[in-house]
């Protein structure tokens, strides 16, 4: 039996593994796809203390290697259910693991626009990751849709690759950091389209363009080769909602102590209710969740 099972190997989950192993707990990390979570798509991290200008992949790899070196076991299996009890269980498609405590650190997945042909044109001009796919559009016209930090960073990144970048936002102002917003005005090949939504994808075998509709109902066709969707994330908590409480958006309800409504089950990172979802808050959550899981085990052993 494991002391702590951590679901998710992003920054929050790996930080929790590091703290738990330093406390000599037997730790299993379950990851559905690849370690690192969304941070691996970040080209340049500028706001993490004492580690400026490190790319997301290197940061995630450092965390992963540190957890491994400390003795955490990491298995690439998707957790599809959890069960509460004196001995808790985490169920994957191939195994059932018993544990004293659980830390859910599943993070968030991509949010789709929900347009016709969105899935069909994925990888044929439509993308959710500018740093992954931007190089395919060197010297071409592209568009980014979104109004937060990710959309702004994607547009800035693509402006150094593409011939022309359109940044489309449904509101009249951005939600991103001021320093990044200010950088937009320094890009001569970047055009911002406010108060508009992308309402149609044009193309059959590949993307040829998009239709954009403004708040007055006026429709404009834009010829582009690449379209990058950055409209936010959705929490990856659907498999656990029968056990832990979530809000109306699907985020697990927990305070800064990372405790859920179930004793011995904790949550860390972007998948919980919080006001700021950043790398630094994810790693902070991982440390807090692991520390409280360790305290829970000690209390349980003393009963």
Q: Which residues are catalytic?
A: 129, 132-133
Strand runs (DSSP E) across the chain, as ranges? 2-7, 27-30, 73-75, 79-83, 88-92, 96-104, 108-110, 126-127, 141-145, 164-168, 190-193, 196-202, 209-214, 219-223, 226-229, 233-235, 265-267
CA gap 188, 212 in Å, rounded = 21
Instruction: Name the β-bridge partners of 142.
Output: 165, 226
Query: Residue 154, SS3?
Result: helix
Q: How far apart are CA 223 and CA 225, in angstroms?
A: 7
- Please give the C-alpha separations between residue 8 and each of 72, 139, 159, 192, 211, in angstroms, as whole numbers: 13, 37, 33, 36, 37
Element (H, E) at 253: none
How far is it, in rounded angstroms, from Cα 261 to Cα 122?
39
User: Among positive and negative, which fits the CA dihedral 220, 221, 227, 233?
Assistant: positive
Longest dimension (CA), the chain: 68
Closest CA to 43 of 173, 188, 152, 193: 152
């Amino acid at each position: 039996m494991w002391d702590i099972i951590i679901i998710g190997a992003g920054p929050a989950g790996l930080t929790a593994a590091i703290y738990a192993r330093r406390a000599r707990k037997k730790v299993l990390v379950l990851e559905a796809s690849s370690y690192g979570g969304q941070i691996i798509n970040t080209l340049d991290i500028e706001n993490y203390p004492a580690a400026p200008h490190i790319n997301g992949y290197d940061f995630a790899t450092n965390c992963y290697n540190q957890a491994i070196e400390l003795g955490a076991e990491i298995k690439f299996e998707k957790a599809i259910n959890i069960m509460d009890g004196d001995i808790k269980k985490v169920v994957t498609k191939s195994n059932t693991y018993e544990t004293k405590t659980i830390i859910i650190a599943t993070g968030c997945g991509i949010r789709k626009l929900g347009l016709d042909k969105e899935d069909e044109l994925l990888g044929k001009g439509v993308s959710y990751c500018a740093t992954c796919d931007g190089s395919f559009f060197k010297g071409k016209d592209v568009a980014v849709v979104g109004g937060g930090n990710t959309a702004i960073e994607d547009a800035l990144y693509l402006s150094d690759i593409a011939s022309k970048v359109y940044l489309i936002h449904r509101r009249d102002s951005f939600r991103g950091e001021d320093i990044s917003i200010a950088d937009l005005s320094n890009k001569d090949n970047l055009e911002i389209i406010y108060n508009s939504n992308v309402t149609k994808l044009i193309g059959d075998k590949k993307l040829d363009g998009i239709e954009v509709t403004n708040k007055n109902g006026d429709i404009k066709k834009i010829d582009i080769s690449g379209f990058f969707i950055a409209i936010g994330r959705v929490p990856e908590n659907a498999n656990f909602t029968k056990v832990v409480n979530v809000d109306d958006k699907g985020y697990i309800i927990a305070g800064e102590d990372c405790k859920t409504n179930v004793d011995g089950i904790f949550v860390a990172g972007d998948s919980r209710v919080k006001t700021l979802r950043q790398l630094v808050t994810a790693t902070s959550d991982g440390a807090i969740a692991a520390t409280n899981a360790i305290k829970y085990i000690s209390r349980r052993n003393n009963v």
